[in-house]
C-alpha cells in the first residue's frame, strides 16, 4: 500500500469513527476524494468513481454522520431539521454553538411581553413544542423549519389556551403548578397538568393544522388531592405526581394508578430518571431533604433506599440541619458513569449537588417515625456561585458538548452555569428583562436555554443564524410619564431588535490570576 487512498473506502470510513472534528476537517482538505467521503457526497465525478467501491454506496452514515453518532447533542428544538440539514451542516451548527458556549456568547430575549401580576410559571419541552404554563394559561410554542436551508429552526407561538372553568368544582383555584409531556406516538400534544387546588388533568392540545378562535384543549380530570400538586415527572410510560403534603402517585400510562405513597413531609420536587432505574427521587423540607424511594413490583415504597445529604455522612447526626431541595434532574449527557445512577439537585442553601447512587454509604440514619436504618450518601460534587447565596429553584443539564449544568436562582432572575470539566470557568447571567424574581424553571439543550420568571418566558440562544424571524416578534412598548417595567423592557432592547442587553459575571474573581 503506497497511500491512504489505496485502502477501500469502507475501511477509510471506519477510521472516521476515531477522528476528532478538527482531524476530520483537515482530512477533508487533503484531496477531493477524501473531501467527498467526509462530506457524504455520493454523486462523485467519473474521475473519482473508480476509486469508490460498492460498499461506499451502501453505507449511509460516514464522515460527518459518523462524528454525529459518536458525539450526540441533546436538542429538542432542533429535531425538525434532522431530515433537512446534511451531517456537515449539523456538525457546523454544533461546533459554532460549542464555541459560543466557551466564549459565553449568546442572544438573550423574552418570548413574550410581560405577564400581568407576579406568577409562578412552569415549562416543559418536547421534540415539537415548548409549553409554558402561567396562571391558568398554556402558551404553546412550536418548533419549525422556516425554509430548506434556514440557519436555525424558528420558534413561534402556536396557541394560547386558558384552562380555567373546565370543571364545576375546579373554578376558584385554577393556577397551574406542574406540567409535563406524556408519550403520544410522537404527536407531542398530550400533557399531564397539576393545579394549585390539587387537580391532576390530562390535556390534549388541538391539532396544529386546524385553526379557529373557538379551539380549546381536551381536558380529562384524573385525580384530585387535598393540597397543591408541586411536581410532575414523566419517564417512558411512567408518570409521577407529588403533592405539597408529600403524597406521591405513580401512574402506568396516562391514567391508570399503579401505586401511591405518603412521606408525610412538605415536598417540592421529584425526578424519575428512567423506567429501568426503578426509583423516584423526592425533594422535601426536612432533615432528609433528598431521598431515593424504590419502585418495587408491589409498588412505591414509603421508606427510602438512600438519603442524600449535604454534609459528610459521618457527621449526619450532629450537623445535618433541616433543609430543602427545590429542583432535581439527571446528569449532563457527557458526564461519566451510568446516568441512571447520577442525580443533580438544587438546594435551599444555594448549592447544586451531584450524587452517585453507586457510591457505598459510610453511615446510616434512622428518621422518626421510621424504624429502618437508611444509608446516607455524600455528594460527589458541589457547585455554587460565590457571589450569591440565593436558593436554587430549578436545575437542568446539557448545553454545548453536554457537560453543562444550569440553575435558576431565587432572586434577580439569575441563571448560573457550570461546566463540570472546568468549574473555575463557571458564570451567571441575569435573564432578559431583569425581573426581581426567581427563575422558576429552566430547560437546557445543546444550543438553547429556556426559562421562566414571574413576568415572562425567555431564551438564551448560543447557536448561529438567529435573525428577526427566529423568535416571536415582541410589541414595541412606548414610555409615557414615569418609566415603568414595560418601559424598562424596551430600554434593554438592542438596535437590531433581536437581542436584549443582559448582565453576565464570572464566578471567579476576574482580577485574580490563574
Instruction: Read off the pLDDT band of 46 (50, 70, 90).
Output: very low
For residue 495, count other CB atoms closer than 10 A to its CB. Answer: 6
DSSP 16: G
Quick one: pLDDT at residue 485?
47
Q: What percent of the chain has pLDDT over 90?
A: 48
More confident position, 55 or 192: 192
Q: What is the pLDDT of residues 293-348, one digit of tens each?
A: 999 888 898 889 999 988 655 555 555 566 899 999 999 998 988 899 999 999 99
Element of type H or E holding 325 = strand 323-329
CA–CA distance, 110 with 57 (Å, rounded to integer): 46
Of the pLDDT bands very low, low, confident and very high (cuts 50, 70, 90), residue 50 is very low
Which pLDDT belongs to residue 323? 86
Comparing 8-17, 168-177, 226-235, 425-434, the range with the smallest average pLDDT is: 168-177
Looking at residue 62, what is its pLDDT? Answer: 57
Q: Supply the pLDDT for residue 63.
A: 63
Helices (H), ranges, 80-190 = 87-103
pLDDT at 88: 80
User: What are 377's three cell numbers?
Assistant: 450518601
pLDDT at res. 474: 82
Overall pTM > 0.75: yes
End-to-end CA distance of the chain: 49
pLDDT average, residue stretch 145-174? 70
H or E segment to which residue 344 belongs: strand 342-347
Mean pLDDT score, 420-430: 93
For residues 28-36, average pLDDT: 80
C-alpha of 442 from chain center: 6
* pLDDT score of 37: 75
| d(C-alpha 305, C-alpha 372), whole Å | 10
By the 8 A CB rule, do 415 and 408 touch?
Answer: yes
pLDDT at 478 over 80: no
Picking from 243, 263, 247, 266, the residue whose alpha carbon sits closest to that of residue 197 is 243
Average pLDDT over residues 503-507: 94
Most confident of 71-80, 164-173, 412-421, 471-480: 412-421
Average of per-residue pLDDT values in the chain: 82
Predicted pLDDT of residue 354: 96
Domains defined along the chain, listed by start? 4-98 (no CATH), 99-115+125-506 (2.130.10.10)
Burial class (CB in 10 A: 0-12, 13-18, 19+), 427: middle
**Predicted confidence (pLDDT) per residue in 166-203, tens digit:** 545 445 457 899 999 999 998 999 999 999 989 999 99
Q: What's the pLDDT score for residue 177?
A: 95
Q: 135-163 burial, b for 16+ CB within 10 Å, e for fewer?
A: bbbbbbbbbbbbeeebebbbbebbbebeb
Cβ contact 230:210 at 8 Å: no
Q: CA 124: distance to chain centroid?
A: 8
Kindly state the average pLDDT of the residues 374-396: 93
Rounded mean pLDDT, 392-403:
95
Amino acid at each position: 500500500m503506497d497511500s491512504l487512498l489505496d485502502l477501500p473506502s469502507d475501511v477509510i470510513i471506519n477510521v472516521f469513527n476515531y477522528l476528532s472534528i478538527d482531524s476530520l476537517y483537515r482530512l477533508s482538505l487533503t484531496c477531493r476524494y477524501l473531501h467527498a467521503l467526509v462530506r457524504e457526497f455520493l454523486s462523485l465525478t467519473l474521475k473519482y468513481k473508480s476509486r469508490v467501491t460498492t460498499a461506499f454506496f451502501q453505507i449511509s452514515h460516514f464522515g460527518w454522520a459518523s462524528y454525529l453518532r459518536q458525539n450526540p447533542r441533546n436538542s429538542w428544538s432542533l429535531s425538525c431539521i434532522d431530515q433537512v440539514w446534511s451531517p456537515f451542516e449539523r456538525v457546523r451548527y454544533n461546533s459554532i454553538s460549542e464555541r459560543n458556549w466557551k466564549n459565553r456568547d449568546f442572544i438573550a430575549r423574552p418570548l413574550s411581553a410581560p405577564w400581568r401580576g407576579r406568577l409562578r410559571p412552569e415549562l416543559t419541552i418536547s421534540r415539537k413544542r415548548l409549553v409554558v404554563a402561567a396562571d391558568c394559561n398554556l402558551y404553546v410554542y412550536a418548533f419549525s423549519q422556516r425554509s430548506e436551508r434556514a440557519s436555525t429552526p424558528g420558534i413561534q407561538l402556536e396557541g394560547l389556551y386558558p384552562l380555567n372553568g373546565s370543571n364545576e368544582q375546579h373554578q376558584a383555584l385554577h393556577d397551574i403548578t406542574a406540567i409535563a409531556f406524556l408519550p403520544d406516538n410522537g404527536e407531542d400534544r398530550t400533557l399531564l397538568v397539576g393545579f394549585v387546588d390539587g387537580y391532576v388533568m390530562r390535556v390534549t392540545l388541538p391539532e396544529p393544522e386546524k385553526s379557529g378562535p373557538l379551539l380549546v384543549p381536551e381536558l380529562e380530570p384524573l385525580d384530585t388531592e387535598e393540597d397543591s400538586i408541586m411536581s410532575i415527572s414523566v419517564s417512558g410510560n411512567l408518570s409521577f405526581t407529588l403533592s405539597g403534603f408529600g403524597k406521591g402517585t405513580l401512574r402506568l400510562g396516562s391514567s391508570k394508578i399503579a401505586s401511591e405513597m405518603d412521606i408525610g413531609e412538605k415536598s417540592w420536587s421529584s425526578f424519575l430518571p428512567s423506567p429501568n432505574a426503578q426509583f423516584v427521587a423526592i425533594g422535601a423540607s426536612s432533615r432528609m431533604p433528598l431521598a431515593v424511594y424504590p419502585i418495587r413490583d408491589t409498588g412505591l415504597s414509603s421508606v427510602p433506599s438512600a438519603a442524600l445529604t449535604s454534609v459528610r455522612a459521618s457527621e449526619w447526626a450532629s450537623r445535618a440541619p433541616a433543609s430543602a431541595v427545590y429542583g432535581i434532574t439527571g446528569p449532563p449527557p457527557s458526564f461519566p458513569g451510568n446516568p441512571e445512577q447520577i442525580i443533580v439537585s438544587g438546594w435551599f442553601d444555594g448549592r447544586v449537588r451531584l450524587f452517585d447512587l453507586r457510591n457505598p454509604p459510610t453511615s446510616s440514619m434512622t428518621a422518626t417515625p421510621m424504624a429502618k436504618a437508611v444509608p446516607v450518601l455524600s455528594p460527589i460534587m458541589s457547585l455554587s456561585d460565590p457571589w450569591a447565596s440565593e436558593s436554587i429553584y430549578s436545575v437542568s443539564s446539557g448545553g454545548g458538548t453536554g457537560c453543562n449544568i444550569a440553575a435558576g436562582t431565587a432572586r434577580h432572575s439569575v441563571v448560573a452555569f457550570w461546566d463540570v470539566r472546568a468549574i473555575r470557568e463557571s458564570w451567571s447571567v441575569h435573564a432578559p428583562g431583569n425581573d426581581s424574581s426567581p427563575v422558576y424553571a429552566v430547560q437546557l439543550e445543546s444550543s438553547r436555554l429556556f426559562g421562566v420568571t414571574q413576568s415572562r418566558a425567555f431564551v438564551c440562544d448560543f447557536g448561529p443564524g438567529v435573525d428577526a424571524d427566529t423568535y416571536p416578534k415582541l410589541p414595541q412598548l412606548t414610555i409615557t410619564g414615569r418609566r415603568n417595567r414595560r418601559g424598562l423592557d424596551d430600554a434593554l432592547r438592542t438596535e437590531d431588535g433581536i437581542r436584549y442587553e443582559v448582565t453576565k459575571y464570572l464566578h471567579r474573581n476576574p482580577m485574580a490570576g490563574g
